[in-house]
Chain A
Amino acid sequence: MAQVERRVIFLADMESFYASVETARNPSLRGKPVAVCGDPALRHGIVLAASREAKAFGVKTGAPAWECRRLCPWIIFVKPHMQTYIDYSLQITRIFEQFTDRVVPYSIDEQFLDLTGSAHLFGGPRQAAAAIIEKIWEELGIRCRIGMGENPLQAKMACDCFAKRSPELFFELNHDNYAAHTWPLPIGDLFGVGHRMERNFHRMGVRTIGHLAALERQALKRLWGVNGELLWLNAHGIDYSIIETGAAAPQKGVGHTATLPRDYARPEEIEVVLFEMTEEVCFRARALGKMGCVVHVYCRGADFDYPTGFSRQKRLPEPSDTAAAVYPLVRRLFRLHWDGRPIRAVGISLSELVERRPVQLSLVNDRERREALNRAADRIRERFGKTSLFRAVSLTPGAQLFHSAGRIGGHEA
């Protein structure tokens, strides 16, 4: 019988990524408790990343700044530099690409690598992992941890549950040892189990991954549908997904969501933000040379305990990349579905992207002139910045343009 080649999948994770980048940029921070933290005056005053030294004091990602100060009075707060983190992340990808051509970023600080075909070039998977870890430390000064598995799930579990605590920063799971290593772990450690699911499992008496694995697959499917079945598969280390580089997959939509600096209750203010976001999304569609057919509007209510808000979409009469054509629909969706309660976060997306050309010409709209105007405005903004040319509404209270310009993910670039 032919031996099926065992796949070699790595998940590489950067330790305290933002904090490590800050330390690498400023060596005087080395060995000190550092927390990357947004502006405490606004909503962003929470810890985005904490260095190993800070974590030792109990500082956790997501904790508010004042709490960190209490845990560790001499902690050093650093403002986030999002563009730098993106640059570092791309550099890390470049390093990974020296080991395999199959690299898929999973998040800014986690990337999947498929070394099935190339590990032997470096003397085997363990040696390849060691070489990667060393190279990233040498070149960027960041500690990288690698979990290895026969599929992405095993790699993720190996990394999160073992490699992070292992002195060699590497751990291997495979079909033979998966059960022995993971089944004794608490159920919350299983990939895909969040707080809510953990509570559900505890209520059922399922406390470890092994308990879950011992249940019947069909029973989980009955309880939670496909997601329940997926968790059962995760407990058994089974994952049918493969590592595909995304280069071939076309982009399906452009979207933008933002958490507001405070809760917005006045419709005029929310509509200004919706308008600004529509402009941003249309700008991004234009930059791709695409037009969208479907507009999606999303608003989340302010009250965490009593979730409200809506998420609705509608088709445009014809594909568009112009705020003047898209915004009326955005506003209509908002006015139709908003329940009048304060809003905490809003989002807009344009999907079912089609090429800008060919385009069916129309009798009524002056698309040609609008396109020329958009092109000119885009060129000005590209050269002189997003705030060089703007709509007057962006000067009204509640407008976010001047606040969000120059930010990435809501933090300073």
Chain B
Amino acid sequence: MLISLPKDQLSFCLDTVEKALPTHSSVQPIENILLECHGQWLTFTATNLEQDICVKIPNIHDSSGRILLPPKIVDIVRYLPAADVNIEISFDNYRIDIKSGQSNYVLYGADPTDFPLTRSEDDPESILSLEQADFKKILKKVVFAASTDESRPAFNGVLLYFKDSQISLTASDTYRLVVQDLINENWAFEEQRWLIPAKALRELLKIMGEEGEITISPKSKRVVFKFNQVYFATRVLEEKYPDVRGVIPTAFKTRILTERKLFEESVARAGLLAEGINQAIHFSIHDHRFEVKVSSQIGKMEESLQCTQEGEDVEVFVNAKFVMDILKVLEQKEILIDFHSKNGPLVFKIPGDDSYIYLVLPIKME
């Protein structure tokens, strides 16, 4: 069977499904990429048994069949010399001939019989559809706060809570917490919650485009995202997500408003001297002055920023990285921070926007 298509298109398919290739697996077939040729379509699939990614593109070809492509093909296509690629596949002996410009490859494919296919044609209806660009922005503001430490599995997930006309996204690693609410009068959700592995969402962020819609279809233990020609399915976590929203304070003892960019640069400079697992830097707020300080075994520094202050003076120690994380993902000119004395949380907000909060617990010094 002969396939010919532009290198860019093939490369897009392979780069996308590569995100689901397991780094090492005890199940041999899934280390490969499944290629299916049916009618007018080519479908590429990879799975690590937690996530499946599948890309389907229209293509004219002369016969149907299935084959496992060795994972090396991802790099091979990336480095091909010409803009067009011709692939000749023999489904009898799984031989793959790749021709591009003056370059000729022969690859040995494999029998696809044992490849686990979890994708089904009768996927449930999507419950939500959003612009990809919007969804990307939202995920970027949320996913970073989820934990990568596997000792508390629930915190490896991002909680999506649907109710009536609202969706709440929650992520936390027990030291900080993000809550993003989305409200749309046209929505009418049945109450439901899905705990999606943050790892999958990080991969999703990498492969999502800027244009077109993305749909979300949850079903028993899986959630499927569809966008462009991509089908992205992930297992959901079955752990119970602790009720962390209760820790968000309603009042504040100190509130400041300051310029985000200047603040970010200041924290970056202070962070250079922060050390150890705590990465502690010191914020001191008094008389409308916002001092950022750090003192460690390497040395010390201090600088001050302009801010408008409401409420009492406060001194607090906090992990520099946790502060950087939020300042990097926001785009607004200004940022609002509520303090709750020295051992209470810092709550970061976007001025004039109640739908997003980022809460960080401080470092207790004595």
Contacts and interface: CB of A to CB of B under 8 A. Distances in A.
For B277, B280, B319, B365, the residue with the greatest tally of chain A CB atoms inside 10 Å of its CB is: B277
B276 A354 contact: yes
A358 B317 contact: yes
Interface string B330-366: 0000000000000100000000000000000111111
Contacts of A369: none
A383 B214 CA distance: 66
Interface string B51-79: 00000000000000000000000000000
Interface stretch (B121-129, B136-144, B172-180, B204-212): B172-180
A364 B177 CA distance: 11
Given A317-B151, A358-B317, A363 B277 contact: no
Contact of A363 (B149, B172, B317, B366): B172
Given A317-B149, A319-B277, A354-B276, A360 B319 contact: yes
B244 interface: yes
Contacts of B177: 363
Nearest to B322: A360
Contacts of B280: 358
A354 B149 CA distance: 19
A354 B277 CA distance: 10
B365 A363 contact: no
A360 B152 contact: no
Contacts of B365: 357-358
A230 to B, nearest CB: 34
B278 interface: yes
B362 A357 contact: no
Interface string B275-288: 01110100000000
Nearest to B151: A317
Given A354-B276, A364-B174, A364-B242, A359 B364 contact: yes
Contact of B175 (A316, A319, A363): A363
A244 B242 CA distance: 51
A361 interface: yes
A362 B363 contact: no
A360 B175 contact: yes
A362 B174 contact: yes
Contacts of B298: none
Interface in A245-278: none
Contacts, number: 48
A358 B278 contact: yes
A358 B149 contact: no
B247 interface: yes
Contact of B152 (A317, A354, A358, A361): A317
Interface residues of B, number: 23
Contacts of B244: 363-364
A18 to B, nearest CB: 44
Contacts of B151: 316-317
Interface residues of A, number: 14
A76 to B, nearest CB: 55
B115 to A, nearest CB: 31
A292 to B, nearest CB: 12
Contacts of B242: 364
Contacts of A362: 174-175, 361
Contact of B366 (A293, A357, A364): A357
Contacts of A358: 278, 280, 317, 363-365
Contacts of A317: 149, 151-152
Contact of B361 (A316, A354, A363): A363
Contacts of A357: 364-366
Contacts of A361: 175, 343, 361-364
Contacts of A316: 151
B247 A363 contact: yes
Interface in B22-39: none
B363 A359 contact: yes
Interface string A345-371: 000000000100111111111000000
B217 to A, nearest CB: 31
Nearest to A328: B151
A357 B149 CA distance: 22
Contacts of A363: 172, 174-175, 177, 244, 247, 361
Interface string B260-296: 0000000000000000111010000000000000000
Interface in B287-325: 317, 319
Interface in A278-330: 293, 316-317, 319
A360 B172 contact: no
A358 B295 CA distance: 13
Interface in B168-190: 172, 174-175, 177
A361 B346 CA distance: 12
Contacts of B343: 361
A250 B280 CA distance: 22
Contacts of B276: 354
A359 B361 CA distance: 10
Interface of B: 149, 151-152, 172, 174-175, 177, 242, 244, 247, 276-278, 280, 317, 319, 343, 361-366
Given A357-B366, A358-B317, 6 more contacts: A317-B152, A358-B280, A360-B363, A361-B175, A361-B363, A363-B174
23 contacts: A293-B277, A317-B151, A317-B152, A354-B276, A357-B364, A357-B366, A358-B278, A358-B280, A358-B317, A358-B363, A358-B364, A358-B365, A359-B278, A359-B363, A360-B364, A361-B361, A361-B362, A361-B364, A362-B174, A363-B175, A363-B244, A363-B361, A364-B242
